[in-house]
């Protein structure tokens, strides 16, 4: 059931994010950078459980879209730190709104008490 719920959630998020020019994976990078900018690509990959080549491609496409930039790491010539650009910061409120709307839609059939219990149960599992 969790798998079915996850697929339904991902499908709805993909539709909504497409309007902003984002994929589900670029959304995850954006959300991670909104919480903590200046991560290396390797750190992003570990947090999101994506391979290095996947992170590189995602960062390339997000950089081309003007959402993020790579900056040289002053402590390592091999690493680049990833930061949000103005456009990435500007769409952040829209992304948060999409998350809230999709969550509300997904939980619409639950009472307030059921929503709270569901959220608490998921928190324990995660």
User: What does pLDDT average to in each consecutive run of 10 residues of the chain (126 residues)?
Assistant: 90 92 91 92 92 91 95 90 94 90 91 93 89
The tokens for 112 are 């307030």
Count of domains for the chain: 1
Contact in structure between 56 and 14 (CB atoms under 8 Å): no
Model-level pTM? 0.80
Written as six digits, the tokens of 48 are 């999101």
The answer to whether 54 and 45 are in contact (CB under 8 A) is yes
User: What domain range includes position 57?
Assistant: 2-125
At residue 84, the 3 state secondary structure works out as: strand
pLDDT at 52: 86
Residue 45, number of CB atoms within 10 A of its CB: 20
The closest alpha carbon to 68, from 39, 43, 97, 95, belongs to: 39
**Model pLDDT, residue 60:** 95
Q: What does the alpha-carbon distance between residue 13 and residue 108 come to, in Å, rounded to a whole number?
A: 16
CATH number at residue 47: 1.10.10.10
Calculate ∠ Cα 40-75-90, nearest 5°. Answer: 40
């Amino acid at each position: 059931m969790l798998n079915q719920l996850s697929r339904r959630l991902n499908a709805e998020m993909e539709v909504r994010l497409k309007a902003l020019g984002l994929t589900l994976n670029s959304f995850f990078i954006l959300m991670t950078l909104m919480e903590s900018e200046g991560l290396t690509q390797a750190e992003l990959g570990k947090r999101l459980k994506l391979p290095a080549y996947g992170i590189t491609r995602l960062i390339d496409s997000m950089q081309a879209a003007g959402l993020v930039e790579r900056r040289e790491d002053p402590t390592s010539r091999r690493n680049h730190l990833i930061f949000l650009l103005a456009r990435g910061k500007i769409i952040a409120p829209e992304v948060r709104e999409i998350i809230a709307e999709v969550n509300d839609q997904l939980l619409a059939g639950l009472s307030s008490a059921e929503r709270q219990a569901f959220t608490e149960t998921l928190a324990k599992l995660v």
